[in-house]
A and B are shown apart, each in its own frame.
Chain A
Amino acid sequence: MTDHDHHHHDHDHSELSETELRVRALETILTEKGYVDPAALDLLIETYETKVGPRNGARVVARAWADPAYRARLLKDATPAISELGYAGRQGEHIVAVENTPTLHNMVVCTLCSCYPWPVLGLPPVWYKSAPYRSKAVKDPRGVLRDFGFELPAGTEIRVWDSTAEIRYLVLPMRPAGSEGWSEERLASLVTRDSMIGTGLPKQPHEVA
């Protein structure tokens, strides 16, 4: 739906404002009827704009890179392991962590809607919810990676996880060489959102040094 968004944003201001008016009307009606409290709405928005986002997931990955026992717990049963760091709940009730290796690359998609591990990654980006990603990820994931600007070696096995139930997937990317001895905080600075979806790689140490 990325394309449509572009069209709406660029050309179709009347339709956009019609939607805006409709949302305002709904909020007014629902507030007048006592179904919603606008202060609760503000708090929901603030939570996902400022508190819940990919920095949470980056801390999980950094812990797994720094602590072999934590990594083992994460790969065995990710939900309680992630909860140890305080991340849990809506759209992350049942999380499975999948590990990239030199011979295996994992990628996560939801072809049917937009399922995504909110507690560790926040709300999904537009491309993740778009028709091109949802259609192409399961058929031509290497082509998707090319859209993101990198080429996976032909011999690497590629494994796509379609989130069709309430299980949410988190990719544990490979720790970049040259980060030996780094603190968890520094390691977390290497972890990108896309590397935890499988459409990107972590940053290299020289990029954050």
Chain B
Amino acid sequence: MDGAHDMGGVAWSVPVRPEPNEPVFHAPWERRAFALTLAMTMPGGWNIDMSRFAREDRPPADYLGMSYYQIWLAGLERLMLERGLVASDEIDAAKALHPAEPVAKTLTPDGVAAMLHRGGPTEREASSPARFAAGDRIRAKDIHPPTHTRLPHYVRGHVGVIERVLGCHVFPDSNSTGAGENPQWLYTVTFSGRELWGEASDPNLKVSVDAWEPYLERT
């Protein structure tokens, strides 16, 4: 979707502000929001692409007005409300009012290390050969799906070069809607700064994105 989350190249007049000796979390509630989000993926059964869409799919003013973990929290609430795991009257009452839905599994303390170590690898066996090879010139398609996509707006319509073939990976545009993993070939595609930002760009700048085959067309 075209949203405020897709920030590459957007004018932002304030500098990047590193914080000396920054703590991992800035408030106790951030710790809990983080841990709840990770733990709920198990009983919730949603995937990372559904989580990302639940976070980014909100009006720009809301997205920009919320802190990072407020967005995580809002995304988590939405995923749980959609599946009936939690109801809004329960959140208002701050206690469970309805019976729990049956869930396949939950995260126990014994399972934490294994869950983190397992992660969520996305590479899958390919069912067809890759269309592109390193060195090929391609154009990123000018697409604007209303659903989740991982092709950032600033490369759309621009010509780049395939730098690496990264294997066949779960396709977020399908996985985020529940349409299945639909694995697609993934490539590192490199663009010159001038191709993306015009003649005034730094001539020594190159930017790459990792893009799935359906995002790309031969020039």
Contact = CB atoms under 8 A, between A and B. Distances in A.
Interface residues of A, number: 86
B27 A48 contact: no
B190 to A, nearest CB: 8
Interface stretch (A31-39, A60-68, A171-179, A182-190): A31-39
A44 B154 contact: no
A75 interface: no
B95 A112 contact: no
B199 to A, nearest CB: 14
Interface string B175-219: 000000000001010000000110001101111111110000000
A134 B169 contact: no
Interface string A82-121: 0000001111111000000000000000011110000000
Nearest to B117: A89
Given A158-B202, A162-B152, A27 B36 contact: yes
Contacts, number: 279
B169 A165 contact: yes
A173 B9 CA distance: 25
Nearest to A16: B27
B64 A131 contact: yes
A62 B22 CA distance: 23
Contacts of B122: 93-94, 165-166
Interface string B16-57: 111100101111110111111011100110001000100110
A111 B6 contact: yes
A125 B18 contact: yes
A134 B115 CA distance: 29
A126 interface: yes
Contact of B33 (A23, A112, A126): A23
Interface residues of B, number: 95
Given A4-B65, A40-B107, A20 B28 contact: yes
A174 B66 CA distance: 37
Question: In this complex, which of A8, A125, A138 has the most chain B Cβ atoms within 10 angstroms of its Cβ?
Answer: A138
Contacts of A44: 34-35, 38-39, 112, 116
A71 to B, nearest CB: 19
Nearest to A88: B117
B100 A194 contact: no
Interface string B106-131: 11110111011111111100000000
Given A40-B107, A40-B108, A93-B122, 19 more contacts: A1-B67, A2-B16, A2-B17, A4-B66, A5-B26, A25-B91, A25-B95, A28-B94, A28-B95, A33-B101, A35-B103, A36-B106, A37-B39, A89-B116, A126-B26, A126-B68, A131-B12, A136-B16, A161-B208
28 contacts: A1-B66, A19-B29, A20-B29, A23-B73, A29-B91, A30-B36, A32-B96, A34-B100, A36-B107, A44-B35, A45-B34, A47-B116, A53-B24, A89-B116, A93-B119, A94-B122, A94-B123, A112-B7, A113-B56, A139-B196, A140-B202, A148-B18, A154-B204, A155-B204, A164-B152, A165-B122, A167-B210, A199-B16
Give me the 3 closest cross-chain CB pairs, A-B, nearest first: A111-B8, A25-B94, A165-B210
